[in-house]
Chains A and B, each alone.
Chain A
């Protein structure tokens, strides 16, 4: 009798934990077609703080990351040729205008002002999506993009050139109604 109760209780606890995990998981925005798969995952300030704390970043640097909105981007080139990433060809638009991604240069200057050790600057750079990359056939790469923290929903349009000499049919991917991820109030 007791073991049957324990069995049922264990099931309920497992289901509860799974539900909580699903609720806590950040939303994933995915666009996939025969040529490309692109994933956008909004990251909360706490998620990013936890990540960089785990890499031993000093508090001043972690505070600086809280001013920005982070999205993890994953890109898979499914074409049979080169897919050209150049984030200069991406646009972010809101109902009232446009926004720009925070550039690598922005972060370099920010870290300089904070006298952040070189190793942390290096790690931070590696966690960012490259500005440009020639994705080879079947290559998957990813990284974070950052923009100034905002409450406004926006549309991200990512444009990719294709083909050896960038003369192939361009690929445009649009993610509508993206929002900076907010931490759940405690």
Chain B
């Protein structure tokens, strides 16, 4: 009986680890994430390569992009819902002024503290498919998943998927 229980437990854990990524999240051949070292809105420096203990959700956005505007409140809800999970959220604004960013985020997602890619060069290095673009980077600094277009991040399937990732090394 004990063996059966252990088997069932192992089987269910395996299933959950192998669960498919939700719609819009695509597994890619792993590649080293480009450098990312920027100031946030509070003037604090963030460097991705020195934050290797966990997965990172790296999101590029601009206030002029319609899907970014629709998506940002859902990202805030996602972040709020995953405060206790071991995953880092790195939000990068592409080439906008602080005034534009403040007034936009103040209206739709006041808790989000974005990094400021003031000249847009960091974004260029990451070569997003478009804006918005999101990458899921593993603790070794490798891009494992890219996300196509805007998503309803607050929905449970996305949180569940990210939660699973946060417990994996790769």
Contacts and interface: CB of A to CB of B under 8 A. Distances in A.
Contact of A141 (B23, B118, B149): B149
B114 to A, nearest CB: 15
Contacts of B124: 122
B131 interface: yes
B149 A118 contact: no
A55 interface: yes
Nearest to B66: A142
Contacts of A123: 62, 64, 94-96, 120
B100, B120, B124 — which one has the most chain A CB atoms within 10 A of its CB? B120
B120 A121 contact: yes
Contact of A56 (B65, B100, B118, B130): B100
From DSSP, what is the main secondary structure of chain B's interface residues?
loop
A143 B130 contact: yes
Contacts of B148: 136, 138-139
B130 A130 contact: yes
Contacts of A122: 94-95, 119-121, 123-124
B31 interface: no
B119 A127 contact: no
B89 to A, nearest CB: 22
Given A123-B94, A130-B129, A118 B119 contact: yes
A136 B116 CA distance: 29
B108 interface: no
Interface residues of B, number: 21
Interface in B89-131: 94-97, 100, 118-121, 123-124, 129-131
Nearest to B131: A126
A119 interface: yes
Contacts of A130: 129-130
Nearest to A118: B119
Interface residues of A, number: 23
Contacts of B118: 119
Interface string B1-41: 00000000000000000000001001000000000000000
Contact of B26 (A54, A125, A136): A136
A133 interface: yes
A130 B127 CA distance: 11
Contacts of A117: 119
Interface string B118-154: 1111011000011100000000000000001100000
B92 to A, nearest CB: 12
Interface of B: 23, 26, 62, 64-65, 94-97, 100, 118-121, 123-124, 129-131, 148-149
Given A55-B96, A141-B129, 19 more contacts: A55-B100, A56-B100, A118-B119, A119-B95, A119-B97, A119-B119, A122-B95, A122-B120, A122-B123, A122-B124, A126-B65, A126-B94, A126-B130, A126-B131, A133-B129, A136-B148, A139-B149, A141-B130, A143-B130
